[in-house]
Amino acid sequence: MEELLRSDVVSRWWQALSSTGEVALSSSRVREVLGDLVEVLAAGLTADPFDAAVGVRVGERVAALGFVDPRVPIVSAEVLYELAGRGLPGPVPAVACRRITALLVAVGLGHQRWAGSGRPSPPGRGESAEFRATAAVGGDRFRIVFDNLAVAIAIGDTEGTLIEVNQCLADMVGVRIEEMRGLSIYRFAHPDDVDEIRIRLFDKLVPAREGTVRMERRIVRADGSAVWVAFSITYVKGTRGRPDYLLAVGEDVTERHRLQEKLHWQARHDQLTGLSNRRHLLEQIENLSARPDGSGRVGLCFVDLDRFKEINDRYGHGVGDRVLCIAAARMRDSLATEDYTIARIGGDEFVVLVSSSADDDSVAAVARTLVTALADPISVGEHQLRVSASIGAVVTVVAGVQAEELLDAADRELYRAKAGGKDQWALQVLDTSPAADAEAGRAQGPSRP
């Protein structure tokens, strides 16, 4: 940390603390200690792994100097918050903001623990004795700081029971603060995330009794909706005979997740028709191949629209695009009752992945259904356009199947279908056994009877 920055922070912190009362130590000694504490906080901001418990020790040390007024955490926060954005190396601003917030909350807790240790207050309705003992001295002032920080904060015991939360977290969940105290953190966790929370927090962090865990998980709101929250949960060891606790600081990242989901969808779907694209199709095939129960079969129908180039050349790409969209919708609607992946892999080429109980009969039935769906003319404006389909289909065992090789095999069958004239389908059953005769597994026929 640059000496000029350090000196400025120490000077302003000393002035802020002096406004809360006098101490017995000399100003030079106090400044020396504050300088060390600023260095500790600066190092804590960039530490890997991050440990918010550093703030607890800083707060205790400030109180031990003799600054025990309830205003100390508040005036300290006003000065020290600037550490996150004043030339320190390390975390990006968003991360630095979360870290300095966690540290300053911990400073307040450490200060209140030390300063209030001789005057514990009895617990009020819905509050734990632990938090009352740490926050009673700060009273409303501590509560104001705690509640008005623009991040979600929770303090819990090592068994996952919420001791205290701030207003930001209560608003995020949609539950009043007093109703959240004493509840398990699992009460608001998404069911799909419970196992990971248990493993990372209570099977690893709590037994280790140190460290910080970072995770992005869903919180289920009171109205049943879910929000994504990025949390940093730090294990804080109790001092002076008090129990250990967990300090969690989080922020709502739902919009980022929605954007990521949108980008993920766009990267795997055709922008014109809304069908899956080649990338998504290949991923689906690879996922099937990787399944442990790979004894089943998979089918592929490679669809090529007949006479589409003539339509594009004669009427233009605008009409051609409308034809593709209508053809895609017809194929999708004709197979709506089945869980098949339908993809446009380029131009006028489409592929249907049959992944459930595929055999030569079911895949042949899909091929016939598809070409029947395209039998009627397609209306685009004043034009009645006839587009038929040629289809090459393959069936094979799913275990170890290579996606590109399966596509190539279906493409070869497509050419065989076209060799017999337009509006045809051809199918080959691929057998991986050495004794198999691949030609014996072939079938061919017209699109319709």
User: 98 — phi, psi (to 5°)?
Assistant: -65, -40
Whether residues 245 and 323 share a domain: the answer is no
Which tens digit of pLDDT belongs to each residue from 74-114?
Answer: 888 888 887 876 544 444 466 777 778 778 888 888 887 77
Q: Is 348 a catalytic residue?
A: yes
Report pLDDT for 51: 75
**Could you give the CA distance from residue 111 to residue 80 in angstroms, rounded to a whole number?**
15
Check pLDDT > 50 for residue 127.
no
In the listed set 259, 294, 311, which residue is the last one of a domain according to the structure? 259
Domain of residue 311 covers 268-446
Of the two residues 286 and 445, the one the predictor is more confident about is: 286
Whether 244 and 272 map to the same domain: the answer is no
Nearest residue to 447 via CA among 374, 386, 395, 352: 374
Two tokens, residue 328:
């895609």
- Whether 246 and 289 map to the same domain: the answer is no
Mean pLDDT value of segment 280-295: 83
Tokens 């339908």, residue located: 342
> Is there a single domain that holds both residue 241 and residue 275?
no
CATH number at residue 436: 3.30.70.270
Q: Report the number of distinct structural domains present in the chain.
A: 2
| Same domain for 228 and 316 | no
Q: How confident is the model at residue 398 (pLDDT cuts 50, 70, 90)?
A: confident
Instruction: For 140-185, write each residue's pLDDT tens digit.
Output: 555 655 666 667 888 899 999 999 898 889 999 999 999 999 999 9
Highest mean pLDDT among 78-87, 228-237, 385-394: 385-394
Instruction: Please tell me whether residues 324 and 436 are part of one structural domain.
Output: yes
Residues 346 and 201 in one domain: no
Instruction: Please identify, among 238, 259, 280, the residue that sits at the C-terminal boundary of a domain.
Output: 259
SS3 assignment, position 345? strand
Q: Do residue 49 and residue 158 come from a single domain?
A: yes
Same domain, 380 and 433: yes
325: CB partners within 8 A, 6+ apart: 272, 273
How much is the pTM? Answer: 0.61
The residue out of 259, 278, 297 marking a domain boundary is 259
pLDDT at 333 over 90: yes
Looking at residue 201, what DSSP letter applies?
I
> Does residue 343 come out as left (phi exceeding 0), alpha (psi in the -120 to 50 range) or beta?
beta
Residues 160 and 218 in one domain: yes
The burial of 85, by beta-carbon neighbours within 10 Å (0-12 exposed, 13-18 middle, 19 or more buried), is given as: exposed
240/340 same-domain check: no
Given the residues 69, 348, 360, 423, the one annotated as active site: 348
Q: Is 127 left (phi over 0), alpha (psi -120 to 50) or beta?
A: beta
Residues 290 and 422 in one domain: yes
Task: Report the CATH number that the domain containing residue 154 is assigned in CATH.
Answer: 3.30.450.20
Q: Please give the average per-residue pLDDT across 119-140, as a whole number.
A: 40
Q: Please give the pLDDT value at position 269.
A: 96
Residues 6-35: tens digit of each pLDDT: 888 899 999 999 998 888 888 889 999 999
